């Protein structure tokens, strides 16, 4: 069997900048980003809301390298925030901050988005994890994108970390995607039968002024328009480095497994997006505690059983990727709960959303 290529990784995380006294989101007035650029150059940038900082790793050759980088970036942003007497947290939404009270970053790009999308954009106060996996061949990348859609809800449920919105328990484990769904060109991607049809789609949107550049396709999974990667964008921002890296390792393993199947002239079944959407809803609503549909068997299955099946599915590529330890952390998440489960436990015990914020800030550098 031909040796697998190196599936390079890029990890982007979006951090919450928080006032330690009020526990509310707080504008950092670009001081954290400006300070970080001295050390991190283009690895850090402002987001639309001034209380958000986005960081991205360099291109990593393996999961171990990605873990070192994510840990370093979290540590460095905490250090810079402390100089401004601020703290940093990790969750898909803030437990009680109101978007109406958040300052917008003064940048032409964000002004343009707000001018076009209005309150849809202003209210988009959410925090995600994006994972890039390097694939040089665009034809193979598109095939993998079509097939990997089936696994998006499984991965999404594992990352669930946004149960609260503007001071309310939403009843969802991952409410972030519900907020983002107001944007155009979001959610699960369409099926494309060729790279040409994919490129024609992008070209049509640009030529008809629907978008000014292809990066404004904000799907849960996309073949990146400028990099040789496929980008998984569905996940909530994870509570800890260990959770982030576990999900990064699982994503890389799914891509590697589908690539290996392609080498063997076989492929994973492609299911209708309308069906996969049913599992995505279940992932958002129940996280890892509910059931999902096994569309091959046409029956409901406990999520945790499906995740064990997914781990078995990717098992033959994990050692070659060198990520068994990181992927095995899935079992700990299944046993201890996701970030959402931990947030809800604090809320049930204390009825105090300030304590929930304390959790998402205290856990930010856990294990570093």
For the domain that residue 241 is a member of, what is the CATH number? 3.30.590.20
Q: From CA 277, how far away is CA 282, in angstroms rounded?
A: 9
**4 part of a folded domain:** no
pLDDT at 1: 59
- What domain count does the chain have? 1
pLDDT of amino acid 261: 96
Q: How far apart are CA 283 and CA 278, in angstroms?
A: 9
- The reply to whether 367 falls in a domain is no
Query: Does the residue 368 lie in any domain?
Result: no
Instruction: Let me know if 12 is exposed, middle or buried by CB neighbors in 10 A (0-12, 13-18, 19+).
Output: buried
Q: How, if at all, do strands 291-294 and 299-302 pair?
A: antiparallel
- Rounded CA separation 362/356 (Å): 10
In a domain, residue 1? The reply is: no
Q: What is the 3-state secondary structure (H, E, C) of 307-354?
A: HHHHHHHHHHHHHHHCCHHHHHHHHHHHHHCCHHHHHHHHHHHHCCHH
Residue numbers of the domain that contains 158? 9-362
Q: Is residue 26 part of a domain?
A: yes
- 21 burial level (CB within 10 Å; 0-12, 13-18, 19+): exposed
Is residue 2, in this structure, part of any structural domain at all?
Answer: no
Q: Would you state the pLDDT for residue 223?
A: 94
Under-70 pLDDT residues of the chain: 1, 29
Rounded CA-CA distance 186/24 in Å is 28
Q: Is 28 a member of any domain?
A: yes
d(CA 321, CA 4): 9
Q: What is the pLDDT of residue 324?
A: 98
């Amino acid at each position: 069997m031909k040796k697998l290529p190196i599936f390079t990784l890029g990890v982007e995380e979006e951090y919450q900048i928080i006032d330690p006294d009020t526990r509310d989101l707080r504008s950092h007035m670009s001081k954290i980003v400006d300070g970080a650029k001295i050390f991190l150059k283009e690895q850090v940038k402002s987001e639309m809301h001034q209380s958000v900082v986005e960081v991205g790793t360099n291109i990593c050759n393996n999961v171990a390298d990605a873990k070192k980088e994510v840990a370093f970036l979290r540590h460095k942003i905490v250090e810079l925030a402390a100089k401004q007497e601020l703290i940093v947290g990790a969750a898909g939404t803030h437990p009680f901050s109101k978007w109406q009270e958040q300052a917008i970053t003064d940048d032409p790009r964000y002004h343009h988005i707000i001018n076009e999308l209005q309150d849809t954009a202003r209210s988009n106060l959410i925090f995600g994890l994006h994972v890039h996996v390097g694939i040089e061949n665009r034809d193979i990348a598109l095939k993998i994108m079509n097939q990997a859609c089936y696994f998006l809800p499984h991965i999404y449920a594992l990352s669930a970390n946004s149960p609260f919105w503007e001071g309310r328990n939403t009843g969802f484990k991952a409410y972030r995607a519900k907020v983002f769904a107001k944007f155009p060109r979001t959610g699960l991607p369409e099926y494309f039968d060729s790279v040409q049809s994919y490129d024609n789609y992008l070209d049509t949107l640009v030529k008809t002024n629907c978008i000014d550049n292809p990066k404004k396709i904000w799907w849960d999974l996309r073949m990146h328009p400028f990099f040789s990667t496929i980008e998984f964008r569905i996940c909530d921002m994870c509570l800890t480095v260990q959770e982030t890296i576990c999900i990064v390792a699982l994503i890389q393993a799914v891509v590697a497994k589908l690539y290996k199947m392609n080498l063997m002239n076989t492929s994973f079944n492609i299911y209708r997006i309308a069906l996969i959407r049913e599992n995505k809803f279940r992932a958002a609503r129940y996280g890892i505690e509910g059931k999902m549909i096994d569309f091959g068997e046409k029956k409901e299955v406990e999520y945790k059983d499906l995740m064990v099946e997914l781990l078995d599915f990717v098992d033959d590529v994990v050692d070659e990727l060198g990520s068994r330890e990181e992927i095995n952390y899935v079992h700990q998440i299944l046993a201890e709960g996701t970030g959402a489960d931990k947030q809800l436990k604090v809320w049930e015990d204390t009825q105090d959303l300030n304590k929930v914020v304390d959790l998402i800030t205290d856990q930010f550098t856990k294990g570093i």
